[in-house]
Amino acid sequence: MAGELASPAASRRPTGGGSSRRIAALRLLRRRLIQAVPLMLGVVVINFCLIQMAPGSFLELMTAENQVSDPATIELLRKTYGLDDPVWLQLVKYIWALVQFDFGFSYRQNRPVIDAISDHLPATLLLMVSSITLALAVGVAAGVVASMKVRTFWDSLVSVAAMFFFAAPGFWLGIMLIVLFSVKLGWLPVGGMMTIGGVGGGATGAGGVLDVLHHLILPTLALGLFYAAIYTRVMRSSMLEVAQLDFVRTARAKGLSRNQVTIGHVLRNALLPVVTILGVQMGTVLAGSVVIESVFSWPGVGSLLFDSVSSRNYPVVLGIMVLGSLVVIAANIAVDLVYMWLDPRIEIR
Amino acid sequence: MGNDRNRVTRRAFGGGVFSAGVVVSSLAGIAPSFAQGAPKRGGTLVATWGGGEPQACYVPAGGGSSPTFSSSKLFERLAKRAMDGKFEGVLAESWKPSADFKTYTLKIRKGVKFHDGKDMTVDDVVFSIGEIWKKYAAAAAMTDFAGVEAPDADTVVVKYNTPTPEFFFSSALCGIVSYVVPKHIYAGSDPVTNPANNAPIGTGPWKFKEWVRGSHFEYVKNENYWQKDLPYMDRLIIRYVRDPAGRAAAMEAGDIQIGVFNPVAPPDIKRLTGTGKFVATPKGYEESVWSTTLECNMRNPVFAKREVRQAMFHAIDRSFIAKTVYYGYARPGTSPIYSPNTAFFTADTYKTGFDPKKAAALLDAAGYPKKADGKRFTVNLLAAGWFTENGKIGAYVKQALEDAGVGVNLSVPDRPTSIKRIYTDYDYDMAISNQANPSEPIPSTTQYFTTDGIKKGVPFRNANGYSNPEVDALVEKIKVETDPAKRRELVFQFQKIITVEAPLLPLVEIESITVASTRVQNHSNDPNYLAASWADIWLAS
């Protein structure tokens, strides 16, 4: 979506005041929301078809687990769950239900899909937000340091670290972090989202928040450092590129200090590629959380999705896909708005 | 009652059993930790198992090992098997058959209360047997069930249409999910969708407190438990950790004190026990021995010949599988009745041991000599992907059969696909699968071989299409033979026929393990410990 924004160079119209920018932002928001409708429809149709193409169904698993031996009972269950309908009719029924904000019913878990997902979604969102925050903070800071200390020991150190965290598989990094910080040093919990079964279990209020944050550290590192490595490399090159532009030279000629030039002029413009990547990577962060959640027993949608795919629990899988897509779309809209804020010259086409 | 020395659990496919799937057999120097001194009261025990979170805390029809693990601490059965093989009353104080073995009379324990404070009565037992067991929990084993009634406030009478062996009936009382459920909660509702399944109210030593989905169950001590002074501990946490390495780390860090059903990978077993802070034991699984099986689809005319089926097993080195794939934590299987089943297992059967020359001779005799390309014929081998070991075994079996001149197209589909291809589509020539058969062979073991076990689309039955009137007649006799010695002999005959016919045989018998902190006392003291109540477990200081 960010790609549809006109580049600063392409934009020649003078920017308006705060009011006109708010109007432009609202227009952007409206346009993006309208565009989201066919996008969501595509997500639903494609995922529905992919799931239908997978062999096996939750009904077969259910009968296996429950030792159902009567073929008549199995046929009755098939009708009860609407599996005897043609696939196209199942799809139409599903879309119609979605329009009414009905995500369906998880027969495996015997509860509405939205309830099943909403139990897990906050944990995943928390992990995503903390990981992205860490990645941005570390990536931007390290990229700035590397660019300011280019071709020095610090630049090399940052580059090596970035390469390491970029190359290290998330699950391996997670296990190594657990071994070091949990098993050997005993500083941080092995997994889970809160202390259970021990002192502090069930803590509420500030204690509970601190407990969750304590548990959040390792999964955030395992998920966020990979993206921090990417942002570091992008930020470094972007900083070096922007530093060569005329307006930076002008700023220096005006007598501004190095830090003033870097922070006030180079950094803000160099952030644009990072923001672009951030929007694009929202989906992969969500996917990456599936692995990290498994390693750290983080009770997010990752484990729910894994179980649901394994058990062909279609309603839950589709529900997660739809809600996940909504999160990614919302994040991209936010990125577009951040774009406008970072560079006032940017105009929405 | 009480004379039989075998095991009774119903077969339960481990729906969530996708752990490392590895087990310990020869755990020299590694022993379970049993009670030492007076039990220490209070405290919290955190437990885990080698699988994932259940779909519901209690699934009336079973639902696999995960809901069995979670529900068995809250509900109780009428009876249980002890480690010595004897049946013991739990919510039933005693039971005895009529002279014709068509009626069983049970005396129900008094003074038992459900967690909501209501008394457990014979009405609850009648409801559980008639409405839950018959329709869901034990449907396959109750085909000859004729009815249940309560003639007075202490007695329940169960009737059958045919003579029912005492071992069979006692086994049914101990069924894995043959719980006594509260009638006042389940009557008039669909038991499968009853909301109480996610916050069960039972009579067990533990009361449901909370389910944090994706994380853990929290149970608290049942202060009104009918067994005085139990449970010893105040709180039981069942925590779910998907990754075996994560479980090992959590145990090592002290976050989890006990893990049942293969919680960690074999290298971690040695590492953890090597610290001196943990013990590992294969005890507690005598009632739920798992096996890895190889089955031949009779619909392929090649396998309609008995010699070909025998040759397949002779071409495979089961010891190699046990040592290499299971790290030595399994043993070669020989019979559809597993060797720990002391009531019904016999070693006096046809041996399909590793013998490549015999395999080649059998294939030649069956009319499948090696062709110019060195192949006799080609088969599609499906290794069910619900256990990672199955794929490794599939790779070995492919090599072994190719050495015997049999071309193999190996596929390792995931669990839903495997179930569909084997039991609905019959889309395989040979399949590597798994079973966890109980001691009572009817129907869990026999339904893989009888003609009435051929039910398209019904999983874990006779998918191979094997039909033998002699076997069918024999199984019908086993069903109604009430003399234990004669029944045992009939089961021996069954094994002899099946091992010769070889439509399906175990490649290896797997042993499961429990890993526990040395602080944990009184564990692994039930022949199906995963499904036990854990009332007497405690933590030493």
Cα separation of B197 and B191, whole Å?
8
Which of B1, B6, B8 shows the shortest CA–CA distance to B175?
B8
In whole numbers, what is the pLDDT of chain A averaged over residues? 84
The closest CB to that of A64, out of B192, B419, B455, belongs to B419
Q: Which long-range contacts (CB under 8 A, 24 or more apart) does B469-478 make?
A: B470/B497, B471/B497, B471/B498, B471/B501, B475/B442, B475/B446, B475/B449, B475/B450, B478/B441, B478/B442, B478/B446
Cα separation of A8 and A4, whole Å?
12
Question: How many alpha carbons lie under 13 Å from residue B63 in its C-beta half-sphere?
Answer: 24
Which pLDDT score is estimated for A10? 40
Cα separation of B436 and A64, whole Å?
13
Which pLDDT score is estimated for B69? 96
Asked if residue B296 has pLDDT above 60, the reply is: yes
Which pLDDT score is estimated for A203? 57
The closest CB to that of B241, out of A71, A191, A193, belongs to A191
Parallel/antiparallel/unpaired status of strands B103-108 and B92-97: antiparallel
Q: How much is the ipTM here?
A: 0.75
Contacts A299 to B, Cβ<8 Å: 212-215
A170-203 per-position pLDDT tens digit: 889 999 999 999 988 989 999 889 888 554 445 5
**Dihedral sign for Cα atoms in the order B238, B244, B245, B248:** positive
Contact, B68 vs B62, CB < 8 A? yes
Bridge partners of residue B217, in order along the sequence: B211, B238
Contacts A68 to B, Cβ<8 Å: 61, 139, 458
Verify whether the Cβ–Cβ distance B415 to A65 is below 8 Å.
Answer: no
Q: pTM to 2 decimals? A: 0.82
Asked if residue B367 has pLDDT above 90, the reply is: yes
Which of B322, B521, B298 shows the shortest CA–CA distance to B430?
B298
3-state secondary structure A65-88: HCCCCCHHHHHHHHHHCCCCCCHH
Which domains does chain A show, CATH number per domain?
A: 2-347 (1.10.3720.10)
B404-451 per-position pLDDT tens digit: 999 999 999 988 889 889 998 999 999 999 998 888 999 889 999 999
- For residue A78, give the chain B residue with the closest CA: B457
Contact, B268 vs B530, CB < 8 A? no
Verify whether the Cβ–Cβ distance B420 to A55 is below 8 Å.
Answer: yes
Task: Report angle CA A317, A322, A327 to the nearest 5 degrees.
Answer: 120
Which pLDDT score is estimated for B382? 98
The closest CB to that of B253, out of A63, A123, A182, belongs to A182
Cα separation of B108 and B122, whole Å?
7
Task: Give SS3 for A249.
Answer: helix
Optimal mutation site among A62, A67, A181, interface B, most CBs of chain B within 10 A: A67
| Mean pLDDT across B500-509 | 96
